[in-house]
């Protein structure tokens, strides 16, 4: 970009960078270092204060959990005795011997393989309410051995309904065992997972849940995984005092605990989600009350604003310098183009004038042809001078248009007529669709004539090998539109708006660009008339330029 900036502008840019940008950047760098140190110090202090607040609130919640036996902070309560986890129970107790009153019935059922006799014994015991749950269990087993399935299922259901919390000799609840044997499994998984039988040992809970639905996740079993980790990794403090609450962490678990008698410790696993919510809440409260943080934020924001302003100034300066350089380059190209345009007709007129003076033997036809050429070039020179003068007036804001309501059709047709001969002499065929009249518009005849001439000359310049031009005048939707269509090189999309800028020159089909004023003047004239200049173009297929005038209102 610097290569396109003039030397004086480049020097101004370097002075701005060395005297303002560099010192300010150095100060900003020092400020940023100081800001970073303050930020880190504040973060460390905030973390320490937040950790102390979280610990204090968590200990208060732990005390409440021990007092009430429940609290959101407590995920799983536990009890250890001499280092062994007692609750949650990890292992089922050893099977018990049957009560003496059931001994004879079990002998008949098991030893003598007489389920019919055992059935009668068990029913008699159940009728007398002797170990009724175990007696009904014997009835169900005997019925199963006899193949009396329907009766067996009814007994299992009776056992599950009347004695859900009683246990068999292996310590299993009848509410689970009997329901499974009866085939009533619906909802049983949810009951076990909800802690309906909270003292269920780990091996029994895992067995029952896997039996009911082996593919279904069971978060309830997490309490037993915690108990196993607790038994393996938990090491309490060496010296414990009654009533004091202690904290510990192992693996992914955090616990609060206290003494519960000689060699016994009671505690609970901390709910991580509850702790995270507590920490987030305290962090928000501390952030709202922390004035030092607000000061650091304000300081950081001030530095950021300074950086933004400095960067914006740099960008604006570079943009303005680049724009000025581009405008100077366009002005230089414009001067070169105008000089060339002036030089061409002057050279032609001088050449033909000298020929007329020196060669007196020329025929009358040759002389008339030379006069015609001199007249054409002098008219061309006049138009160029007029256009430059008009552009100068536009730049100064001195142009005044005499807008009068009238029919534009005769004016436009007259200009086209005047140029038709020139166009045909240049090898162009002109397709005309010009009605004799059109709705009245407010226009300056001289200015509109200049706009029409510019469009015609533009069509000739950019037609390349094509030699067809169409001119049309039509009225619709409250507007009168004049358009010039060529079939030349067309305009790429990137240039369609820029071609109306002053000094902008698109490459022409003849290899000769204009001097960047024609279309600029066309748009200026149309804007002054309250209308607009439009273009439709496709590269390689030509362009259509339009002058759109609003119809005059009475």
Using a pLDDT cut of 90, give the percent of the chain over it: 44
Residue 345: band (very low, low, confident or very high) from pLDDT cuts 50, 70, 90 = confident
CA quadruple 127, 133, 135, 141: dihedral, nearest 10: 130
Predicted local distance difference test score (pLDDT) of residue 285: 83
- Which of 13-27, 172-186, 516-530 is predicted least confidently? 13-27
Span 465-509, pLDDT tens digits? 888 999 999 999 999 999 999 988 888 888 887 888 876 776 654
Q: Which residue has the tokens 């025929």?
A: 363
- The residue among 374 and 516 whose pLDDT is bigger is 374
Q: Which residue has the tokens 């050893």?
A: 94
Predicted local distance difference test score (pLDDT) of residue 509: 47
- Which of 155-159, 182-186, 240-244, 387-391 is predicted least confidently? 387-391
Stretch 281-294: mean pLDDT, rounded? 70
Omega within 30 of 0 (cis) for the link into 89: no
Predicted local distance difference test score (pLDDT) of residue 356: 80
Residue 511: band (very low, low, confident or very high) from pLDDT cuts 50, 70, 90 = very low
Residue 115: band (very low, low, confident or very high) from pLDDT cuts 50, 70, 90 = very high
Determine contact, residues 206/221, Cβ cutoff 8 Å: yes
Q: Is the pLDDT of residue 519 over 70?
A: yes
Residue 329: band (very low, low, confident or very high) from pLDDT cuts 50, 70, 90 = low
Q: Is the pLDDT of residue 545 over 90?
A: yes
Predicted local distance difference test score (pLDDT) of residue 433: 93
Determine contact, residues 538/549, Cβ cutoff 8 Å: no
Span 43-102, pLDDT tens digits? 787 788 888 999 999 999 999 999 998 899 999 999 999 989 999 998 888 888 889 999
Structure tokens at 121: 């014994």
Stretch 334-339: mean pLDDT, rounded? 59
Stretch 114-131: mean pLDDT, rounded? 92
Span 160-215, pLDDT tens digits? 999 999 999 999 999 999 999 999 999 999 999 988 998 899 999 999 999 999 99
- The residue among 310 and 437 whose pLDDT is bigger is 437
Across the chain, mean pLDDT equals: 84
Query: What does the alpha-carbon distance between residue 108 and residue 373 come to, in Å, rounded to a whole number?
Result: 141
Residue 30: band (very low, low, confident or very high) from pLDDT cuts 50, 70, 90 = confident
Q: Is the pLDDT of residue 29 over 70?
A: yes
Instruction: List Cβ neighbours of 95 (8 Å cut-off, separation of 6 or more).
Output: 169, 170, 171
Measured in whole angstroms, the distance separating CA 78 from the mean position of its chain's CA atoms is 48
Tell me which long-range contacts 87-90 makes (C-beta under 8 A, separation of at least 24).
87/199, 88/202, 88/223, 88/224, 88/226, 88/227, 89/199, 89/200, 89/201, 89/202, 90/201, 90/202, 90/203, 90/224, 90/227, 90/228, 90/231
What does pTM read for this prediction? 0.47
Q: Is the pLDDT of residue 8 over 60?
A: no
Query: What does the alpha-carbon distance between residue 520 and residue 523 come to, in Å, rounded to a whole number?
Result: 5
Stretch 93-115: mean pLDDT, rounded? 89
Query: What does the alpha-carbon distance between residue 202 and residue 173 come to, in Å, rounded to a whole number?
Result: 14
């Amino acid at each position: 970009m610097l290569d396109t900036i003039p030397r004086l502008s480049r020097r101004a840019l370097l002075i701005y960078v060395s005297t303002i940008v560099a010192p300010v950047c150095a100060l900003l760098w020092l400020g940023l270092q100081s800001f970073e140190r303050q930020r880190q110090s504040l973060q460390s202090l905030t973390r320490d204060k937040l950790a102390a607040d979280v610990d204090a609130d968590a200990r208060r919640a732990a005390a409440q959990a021990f007092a009430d036996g429940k609290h959101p902070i407590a995920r799983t309560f536990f009890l250890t005795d001499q280092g062994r986890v007692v609750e949650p129970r990890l292992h089922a107790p050893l099977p018990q011997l049957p009560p003496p009153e059931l001994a004879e019935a079990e002998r008949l059922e098991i030893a003598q393989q007489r389920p019919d006799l055992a059935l009668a014994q068990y029913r008699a015991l159940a009728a007398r309410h002797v170990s009724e749950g175990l007696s009904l269990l014997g009835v169900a087993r005997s019925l199963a051995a006899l193949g009396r399935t329907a009766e067996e299922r009814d007994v299992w259901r009776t056992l599950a309904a009347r004695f859900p919390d009683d246990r068999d000799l292996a310590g299993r609840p009848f509410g689970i065992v009997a329901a499974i044997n009866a085939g009533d499994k619906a909802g049983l998984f949810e009951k076990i997972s909800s802690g309906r039988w909270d003292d269920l040992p780990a091996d029994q809970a895992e067995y029952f849940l896997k039996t009911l639905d082996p593919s279904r996740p069971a978060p309830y079993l997490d309490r037993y995984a915690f108990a196993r980790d607790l038994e393996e990794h938990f090491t309490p403090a060496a010296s414990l005092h009654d009533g004091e609450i202690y904290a510990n962490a192992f693996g992914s678990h955090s616990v609060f605990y206290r003494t519960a008698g000689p060699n016994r410790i009671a505690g609970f696993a901390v709910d991580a989600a509850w702790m995270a919510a507590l920490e987030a809440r305290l962090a928000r409260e501390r952030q709202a009350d922390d004035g030092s943080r607000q000061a650091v934020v304000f300081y950081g924001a001030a530095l950021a604003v300074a950086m933004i302003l400095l960067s914006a100034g740099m960008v604006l300066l570079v943009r303005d310098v680049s724009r000025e350089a581009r405008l100077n380059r366009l002005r230089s190209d414009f001067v070169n183009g105008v000089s060339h345009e002036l030089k061409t007709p002057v050279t032609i007129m001088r050449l033909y004038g000298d020929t007329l003076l020196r060669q007196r033997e020329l025929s009358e036809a040759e002389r008339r042809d030379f006069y015609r050429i001199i007249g054409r070039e002098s008219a061309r020179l006049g138009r160029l001078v007029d256009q430059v003068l008009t552009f100068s007036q536009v730049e100064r804001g001195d142009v005044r248009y005499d807008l009068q309501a009238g029919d534009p059709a005769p004016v436009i047709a007259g200009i086209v007529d005047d140029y038709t001969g020139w166009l045909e002499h240049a090898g162009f065929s002109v397709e005309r669709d010009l009605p004799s009249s059109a709705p009245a518009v407010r226009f300056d005849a001289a200015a509109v004539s200049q706009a029409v001439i510019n469009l015609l000359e533009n069509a000739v310049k950019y037609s390349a090998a094509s030699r067809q031009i169409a001119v049309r005048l039509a009225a619709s939707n409250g507007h009168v539109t004049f358009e010039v269509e060529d079939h030349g090189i067309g305009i790429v999309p990137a240039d369609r708006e820029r071609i109306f800028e002053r000094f902008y020159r698109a490459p022409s089909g003849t290899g000769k660009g204009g001097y960047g004023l024609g279309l600029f003047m066309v748009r200026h004239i149309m804007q002054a008339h309250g209308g607009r200049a439009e273009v439709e173009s496709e590269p390689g297929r030509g362009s259509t330029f339009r002058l759109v005038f609003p119809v005059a209102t009475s």
